[in-house]
Amino acid sequence: MSAFITIIGTVGAVVLLAAYAMVSSGRMSGDGLPYQLLNLGGAAALMVNSAYHSAWPSAILNLVWSGIGVWTLGRLVARRAARRRAAGSAG
């Protein structure tokens, strides 16, 4: 089980770093759905890894990071739905 948790944590770190690199290089928007999904997935994977290894400060940080990701995704989805409703009623 420990090896599996290590793999989860490693994948989470790679995903977060790749997303950050993409935003920093201008290849991805920081306020877009793809970045937010990668951010949430990476943080959740690191949270699992940190909690398993009892690294509680890191686990709590990634729990909060994941919460921010869920909140941001909710806002993005709500905005998209509002745009679709507005477009549907205008046409």
Closest CA to 59 of 67, 68, 51: 51
Q: Tell me, what's the pLDDT at 91?
A: 62
Q: With contact defined as beta carbons under 8 Å apart, do 5 and 38 qualify?
A: no
Distance separating alpha carbons of residues 79 and 55, to the nearest angstrom: 36
Q: With contact defined as beta carbons under 8 Å apart, do 30 and 22 qualify?
A: no
Give average pLDDT by consecutive 10-residue segment, the chain, 91 residues.
96 97 96 94 97 97 96 95 90 62
Length of the chain: 91
Q: Tell me, what's the pLDDT at 89?
A: 85
Q: What is the DSSP letter of 18?
A: H
Dihedral pair phi/psi, residue 78, rounded to 5°: -65, -40
